[in-house]
Chains A and B, each alone.
Chain A
Amino acid sequence: MTDITTLVEAEHAPAPGTPQRASRAPGARRARTYPYLVWPVLAVLVVLIAVPVVAMFYGAVQDGNLGSPKGTSFSLRALAQVYLGWPYISTLLGTVGLALAVALLSTAIGSLFAWIMSRTDVRFRKFFELTVIAPLFLSPFIGAIAWMTLGAPKSGMINVNLRHVFGTDFTLIDVMNVPGMIFVMTMYYVPYGYLLVGAALRNMDPSLEDASYINGNGHLRTAFRVTLPLVRPAMAAAFFFIAVLSTGVFSVPGVLGGRDGFVPLAVRIYRATEVFPSDYAVAASIGTMLFIVTIIGVFFYRRAVANAARFVTVSGRGFRPRIIKLGSWRWVVTTVLVINFVVAIVLPYIALVIVSLTPYAQTDFTKLNLSLNNFTAVLTAPKVMEASWNTLLLGIGSPTACVVLGVLIAFITVRSGSPIKGIIDYLATIPLAIPGLVLATGMIWLYIRTPIYGTLWILLVAHVAAYLTHASRLASNGLIQIDKSLEEASIVNGASLPRTLWRITTPLIRPSLLSAWILIFIFSVREINEAIMLYSARSNVLSVVTWDYMQNGQIRQAAVVGILQTIGLILGVLVARYAFRVKLTSASL
């Protein structure tokens, strides 16, 4: 699984930005411009990314019923309601606070784990590394449902059963509130902190730490005086990246936030469209607010990445950092890692399995009565079968489309001398800053009157727009490492550009493309932020089916679908492992 995770590091490597800047500098080669490739790609990116954002801003200043034939007219009502009223402003502050808290905790925990894994003699390193990273390949939405069944104040399994044990009425744990949201979201963002900081720790010149030891500093002083300052830029990058991601998260607060309690802006957007009377102008206005916040976050993220690049110390491979012997601390460290594993993976999935096997809404283990009836009922339901099929189609279609587009974008930004390649690079990066729900809001305004609205196609378009960046970045990272004469040799041998891209470029960066494909497969299968806005009865997907079950209080059915979806994700990752093995042998040719 670590093969796949290197791609998360690769994505955040400062490399993709630098060569483009460098190639604009005087003295760099002026390469060919490929207008027949560049302009169509630009057009696709504009339609995929820029137009929905513009449509959202347009929608924010409209009024009237979006669906009616009369259409809408200009109005500042929604904008005023969102920006000038305390309810939304306070929600904005709460959303930012939530995101910062999640980012802080995830970065801190992730960094600690990264340090433990790279600098100490912790036992079972491979296994624990897997447990720390695993949430990356699982669905936060399903995790939130699982934790709800565990930690809901009245009916949660932990509360119900420990009351028996201790013989009290006490509520031991409550996750249906803001700390609960932070708790669950942190579990799913720790892998990002772990991978980004871990990469910095591995790339650090070990002699920097050795010098500290030789100068008489102990482990603790070295860690805090040398190691920590050196990875601080990477930690800042991880912090802002996680903050941006968690600003736009809808699923976890959607499950754990009560009807009356605090819910962040993303949930507000959903409710504006879902709760009667639906108000798409307000949804778009909240979307603009969220967009501005995440753009600011991305600005800080990019600055942090640039800073981190300064600290990258390229040194000869082959010598490793000094490994600290944990001694009696080993038990503490191991316990912490085991707790993380239990809390993030074991407990939630045990809970899901138990819930899915109980015939009634029953969380009391003393009255447990298991059957497979839920599974047979849910799995044979036509809507679940259709949603599974749709999820699979999206899970294959969107990574494929993203990878094709990603190769073209990478070729343009890395290889061409096109004057507009900077614009293309920028457009392809924007989706990082747009929460899926925000993009989907814009797409509603854009596509409502087109035939693709309400079909699976619009979901495909939305997924491609949202995940394109992963493909283009990984492809660029791959391409940068390939000698450009390999492609030039193809061209001087008489091959056309399409033939060169197909026969030379694509096979050479295949490892990167496979990584991108599987990453986007995972994202697409578990995606809910866009689907919840854009789905229709004809284009339902598993996440939305789960959400509907939750809304109707059918937690057992939701658990079944959640397990089904998780099995799909795990199968995908296993296939990737297999695919990666294929790649490794062919790359070592």
Chain B
Amino acid sequence: MTTSFSTAASPQAGARSVPALEVKDLRISYGAVEAVKGISFTVEQGEFVTLLGPSGCGKTTTLRCIAGLEAPSGGVIRINGTEVASVTRQLSPDRRGINMVFQSYAVWPHLTVEQNVAYGLHGKKLDRSEIRRRALAALELVGLEKFADRYGTELSGGQQQRVAVARATVTDPAIILFDEPLSNLDAGLRERMRAELLSLQRQIGRTAIYVTHDQSEAMAMSDKIILMNNGAIDQQATPRELYNRPRTRFAADFVGTTNVLEGVLETVGERRFFRDGEQGIELAVSDRDAADGAAIAVTRPEHIRLTTDTNSLNALPGKVLSVEFLGSRCDVSVDVPGIRFRIEAPAGFEAAVGSPITVVFDPDAILILPATGQA
């Protein structure tokens, strides 16, 4: 037990090639319901990885299982190469060398800020002055050294958040787990804390696993995003790859705004066409890899052009449904007989509602996805 603790606790102990976290075929079930259905992923040393997905997708359950707050019903979890959880053996959370920032912050109301932060240092055979020194250093890192003697509930939400972060970093964990830490903050504060959290993580160089349902948070912070749906991993990729090359309709829908068409992919000589079954829309696509047959075509709003010139390739006639001016750009909705497209237009775009307009699709920016999967 003690040996595994020391290995798990110190990232330096493992060779550089040992991943900080390995999850293999992890399954978690509650009675008959399987909340996590055999997922596998690895997190490298110092990486910031986000588990992203809608509520109920199993991301928080997975995180809690890594923390040791819940037990797996199948699979293995390794931290720095040491097995910490399997069906037969579960290392208790205090021996895993992890720490966690909770969604509700979980700042203890009956302890002062300093006592909160120092809590995890007791039992580490440190003398009082050393505990105090480290606690204050951690508070300084989050800019709360002046609040050391306040009680938890005397702080604002953002300050409590910082206390929770200081408490999670002070024990020098191999991995810090974040369970939707920003979801209880209001919008402005959330973006500021997002930047702060990220710079803090870069500064201390710890491996971080972050759970959120907010795709913009995931995109902004992560080295890698693990997109989950229905207890399974939908796609693992860098933020750019996930946005530009989603592999499923779910991924395309969940990350960013998307226009989706269902239809059939056909090849005529050298050229490939996507035909929408119901509306009779036909688009030329440059994708060479996808096979002919039923498929889904996906385009981002910024890849659709609005024009009055009806002669371009992939030009379709439509009617303006609405124009939302957002300052730096406009969000335009256009009805192309029977289908509503969301299109990003320059800030200067102006058109009356109901006026005719032509939408032009860039063949290179039409992504073809397999039709099977979620409807």
Contacts and interface: CB of A to CB of B under 8 A. Distances in A.
Contacts of B15: none
B108 A489 contact: yes
B32 A29 contact: no
A483 interface: yes
Interface size of A as a range: 20 to 34
A494 B102 contact: no
A589 B153 contact: yes
A495 interface: yes
B209 interface: no
B108 A495 contact: no
Given A492-B98, A494-B123, A499-B123, A26 B31 contact: yes
Interface string A25-56: 01111111100000000000000000000000
Contact of A494 (B28, B171, B177): B171
A483 B106 contact: yes
A488 B106 contact: yes
A586 B152 CA distance: 13
A489 B167 contact: yes
B100 A30 contact: no
A586 B92 CA distance: 32
B110 interface: yes
A29 B35 CA distance: 10
Contact of A492 (B28, B32, B70, B99): B99
Nearest to A24: B31
A490 interface: yes
A494 B67 contact: no
A508 interface: yes
Contacts of B105: 485
Interface string B109-132: 110000000011011100000000
A493 interface: yes
A401 interface: no
A513 to B, nearest CB: 13
Q: Which of A485, A507, A508 has the most chain B CB atoms closer than 10 A to its own CB?
A: A485
A32 B123 contact: no
B69 interface: yes
Nearest to B35: A27
Nearest to B154: A589
Q: Which of A31, A486, A488, A489 has the most chain B CB atoms closer than 10 A to its own CB?
A: A489
Contacts of A26: 30-33
A488 B102 contact: yes
Contacts of A493: 94, 99, 119-120, 167, 171
B104 A485 contact: yes
A383 B232 CA distance: 74
A488 B171 contact: no
Nearest to B92: A491
Interface string A476-501: 00000001011011111111100100
B103 interface: yes
B110 A586 contact: yes
A27 B33 contact: yes
A30 B120 CA distance: 25
Contacts of A550: none
A32 B71 contact: yes
B151 interface: yes
B93 interface: yes
A492 B30 contact: no
A508 B110 CA distance: 7
Contacts of B154: 589
A589 B107 CA distance: 13
B110 A29 contact: no
A486 B106 contact: yes
Contacts of B151: 589
Contacts of A503: 119
Contacts of B28: 30
Contact of B67 (A27, A492, A496): A492
A338 interface: no
Interface string B129-140: 000000000000
Interface in A503-527: 503-504, 507-508
B94 A495 contact: yes
Contact of B94 (A32, A483, A492, A589): A492
Interface string A452-495: 00000000000000000000000000000001011011111111
Contacts of B98: 492
Q: Which of B33, B71, B104, B109 has the most chain A CB atoms closer than 10 A to its own CB?
A: B109
B30 A485 contact: no
Q: Which of B67, B110, B123 has the most chain A CB atoms closer than 10 A to its own CB?
A: B110
Contacts of B109: 508, 589
Interface in A274-294: none
Contacts of B61: 29
Nearest to B123: A494
Contact of B70 (A27, A29, A499, A504): A29
B107 to A, nearest CB: 8
Given A491-B94, A492-B67, A496-B94, A29 B108 contact: no
Contacts of B32: 26
Nearest to B173: A492
Nearest to A510: B110
A511 B35 CA distance: 37
15 contacts: A26-B32, A26-B33, A29-B61, A29-B64, A30-B70, A489-B164, A491-B69, A492-B99, A493-B99, A495-B123, A503-B119, A589-B109, A589-B110, A589-B151, A589-B154
Given A33-B71, A485-B105, A491-B93, 13 more contacts: A26-B32, A26-B33, A27-B30, A29-B64, A31-B69, A488-B67, A489-B100, A489-B106, A489-B167, A492-B67, A495-B120, A495-B123, A496-B123
